[in-house]
Amino acid sequence: EPEVTQTPSHQVTQMGQEVILRCVPISNHLYFYWYRQILGQKVEFLVSFYNNEISEKSEIFDDQFSVERPDGSNFTLKIRSTKLEDSAMYFCASRESPTANTEAFFGQGTRLTVV
Amino acid sequence: AQSVTQLGSHVSVSEGALVLLRCNYSSSVPPYLFWYVQYPNQGLQLLLKYTTGATLVKGINGFEAEFKKSETSFHLTKPSAHMSDAAEYFCAVSGPGANSKLTFGKGITLSVRP
């Protein structure tokens, strides 16, 4: 069964460093998302992406964050200068079509720890 | 704006007992409602969803949920818990529009006692 794959599963980084979280969406999907969950809190929407541009972003997704689909298969989330409060589980998701009644498939997540 | 409330963070039931996980939502537009499950070291998996039509929806693994507009609720139930149901469960809401994002609750951890 097709699945969304995220790498790495766990990343530890020093405050101020840049990190890139990688996702391989399902191959025929066109709509991509990043969500995050800080420990003990809700899963929060970060950004949606379609046709090589951001469709929508939350207030969390500030200038420190960027997304890219560099090669037609990977979908990356970059955090330029990590802060302690960026420590969270980051989930990538993809959808075949944008309509809300189609299933969003999620990856297993990347746990980012900023020290 | 939309929001989801999942009261409590942990529910523990005995194997064979009824599972009831509560979810209440707030939405200014007709809601689409979802339950996701996350097993350890795995991604979020869709259990079931309500979009339109029948308000009682059935999902995988014997789970079902009922959309009650008057109560703004979408509680998840399973008549008889199994050990394999131990996981974290997330309720989510979205609007009906194209490319609608999901708004999640905090999640509830379900433990099943032998």
Q: Count other C-beta atoms under 10 Å from residue B81's C-beta.
A: 22
Distances (CA, A) of B15 to B72, B85, B110: 29, 9, 11
Token output for B56: 């009682």
A19-44 confidence digits (pLDDT tens): 999 999 999 898 999 999 998 888 99
B73-104 confidence digits (pLDDT tens): 999 999 999 999 999 999 999 877 766 789 99
Cβ-based contacts of B92 with chain A (< 8 Å): 43
Q: What pLDDT band is residue B29 in, cutting at 50, 70 and 90? A: confident
| Residue contact A48–B41, C-beta within 8 A | no
B37-80 confidence digits (pLDDT tens): 998 878 889 999 998 889 999 999 999 999 999 999 999 999 99
Q: Which residues pair with B32 in a beta bridge?
A: B94
Q: Quick one: pLDDT at residue A100?
A: 65
DSSP conformation letters of A100-111: TTSPPEE---EE
Whether A82 shows a pLDDT value over 90: the answer reads yes
Q: Quick one: pLDDT at residue A98?
A: 74
| Residue contact B100–A35, C-beta within 8 A | no
